[in-house]
Amino acid sequence: MTAIATPDDITRRTAAARDAAVAAARDLGLTVTAPVVLYELFSVVVHLAPSPVVARVPVVLPHTEDLDATSARQRRELDVARWLAGRGVPVIPPSDLVPLEPVQRDGFSITFWPFVAQDHSAEPDYAANSRKSAELHAALKEYPGELGFLDTADPRFITDALGILANHPELVDPADLGRARREWIELEPLVSSQAEFSKRFPGIELQPVHGDSPPANIFASTNGLLFSDFELVTRGPVEWDLASLGPDLEAAYNEGARENGLRELDPDVLTFVNAVAAVRIIACLALAPQLPQLPGFLKPMIDLWRTRPSF
Q: What is the mean pLDDT of the chain?
A: 97
Q: Is the pLDDT score of 194 beyond 90?
A: yes
Q: pLDDT tens digits, residue range 203-246?
A: 999 999 999 999 999 999 999 999 999 999 999 999 999 999 99
User: What is the CATH number assigned to the segment(s) 1-115?
Assistant: 3.30.200.20
Percent of residues, the chain, with pLDDT higher than 90: 98
Q: pLDDT tens digits, residue range 71-123?
A: 999 999 999 999 999 999 999 999 999 999 999 999 999 999 999 999 999 99
Angle, helices 174-192 vs 294-306, to 10°: value is 80
Name the residue among 218, 190, 228 with its Cα closest to residue 206.
190
Q: pLDDT tens digits, residue range 28-45?
A: 999 999 999 999 999 999
Q: Which amino acid is at 188?
A: E
Domain with CATH 3.90.1200.10 in the chain: 117-311
Name the residue among 23, 21, 25, 26 with its Cα closest to residue 37.
21
Query: 22 pLDDT band (50/70/90 cuts)?
Result: very high
Average pLDDT over residues 254-282: 97
Do the bridges between strand 53-58 and strand 43-47 make them parallel or antiparallel, or are there none, so unpaired?
antiparallel
Fold of the 117-311 domain: Aminoglycoside 3'-phosphotransferase; Chain: A, domain 2 (3.90.1200)
The neighbouring-strand residues paired with 109 are: 104
Q: Is the pLDDT score of 2 beyond 80?
A: no
Domain with CATH 3.30.200.20 in the chain: 1-115
Surface-to-core class of residue 247, CB atoms within 10 Å of its CB (0-12 exposed, 13-18 middle, 19+ buried): exposed
